[in-house]
């Protein structure tokens, strides 16, 4: 059975991993006959958002502990991820990818990636294992794969501009499809960057995961 490593960034669209995207991806992985294994960095979130009001709170929360909610406790510290033991990588979106895994939400094209996240992602790239980035997570790709890496965040002009400014090659993509960088074995799909419903998010995620497992 093929094993897919999944890196989460917390729990909740505004300050962690997008829950619908994560669950859809995990379900699709199982339906393609593979297994998923969740990891998250053991760090504090950039901030905590009240998802009812959209306002920032004064709380401090841990990315790994929050991500464990989605994984039902079946998750490990990212430092324990050994890419040699897995066939592919997947990173769901949600603003946690741009606030906790990286600081793209704050610094844009001048963003930096958490060192443990960057180390893990680059290890998959160096071993030429396929990787999939959903929603806003592809903004990390140029910093991981270097100049010329292809990817999509959908059609948002400002985010696409930042992706290109970082050295990537952004490709516009509808919600029900994905972009494949054949050379780098790299897959991206817009998911909730464009989706207006769970079904729309699933349409692209399912296609992406099917191809990811095939590549693995």
Report whether 16 contacts 63 (CB < 8 A). yes
- What is the rounded CA–CA span in Å between residue 152 and residue 174? 9
- What is the rounded CA–CA span in Å between residue 208 and residue 15? 24
- What is the rounded CA–CA span in Å between residue 198 and residue 211? 20
Would you say how long the chain is, in residues? Answer: 216
The set of catalytic residues is 135
- What is the rounded CA–CA span in Å between residue 120 and residue 197? 31
Burial 67-95 (b: 16+ CB within 10 A, else e): bbbbbeeebbebeebebeebbbbbbbbbb
- Count of alpha carbons within 13 angstroms of residue 76, beta-carbon side: 9
- What is the rounded CA–CA span in Å between residue 85 and residue 63? 23
- What is the rounded CA–CA span in Å between residue 41 and residue 28? 24
Residue 188, both tokens? 């991206």
């Amino acid at each position: 059975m093929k094993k897919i490593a999944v890196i989460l960034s917390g729990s909740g669209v505004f300050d962690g991993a997008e829950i619908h995207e994560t669950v859809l991806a995990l379900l699709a992985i199982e339906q393609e006959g593979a297994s998923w294994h969740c990891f998250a960095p053991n760090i504090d979130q950039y901030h905590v958002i009240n998802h009812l009001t959209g306002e920032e709170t004064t709380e401090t929360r841990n990315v790994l502990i929050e991500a464990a909610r989605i994984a039902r406790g079946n998750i490990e510290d990212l430092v324990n991820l050994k890419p040699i033991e897995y066939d592919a990588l997947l990173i769901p979106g949600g603003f946690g990818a741009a606030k906790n895994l990286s600081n793209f939400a704050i610094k844009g094209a001048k963003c930096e990636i958490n060192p443990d996240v960057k180390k893990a992602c680059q290890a998959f790239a160096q071993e030429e294992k396929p990787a999939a980035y959903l929603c806003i997570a592809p903004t990390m790709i140029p910093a991981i794969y270097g100049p010329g890496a292809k990817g999509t965040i959908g059609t948002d002009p400002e985010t696409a501009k930042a992706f290109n400014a970082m050295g990537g090659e952004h490709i516009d993509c509808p919600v029900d499809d994905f972009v494949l960088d054949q050379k780098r074995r790299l897959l991206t799909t817009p998911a909730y960057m464009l989706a207006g419903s769970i079904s729309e998010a699933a349409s692209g995620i399912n296609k992406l995961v099917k191809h990811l497992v095939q590549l693995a």
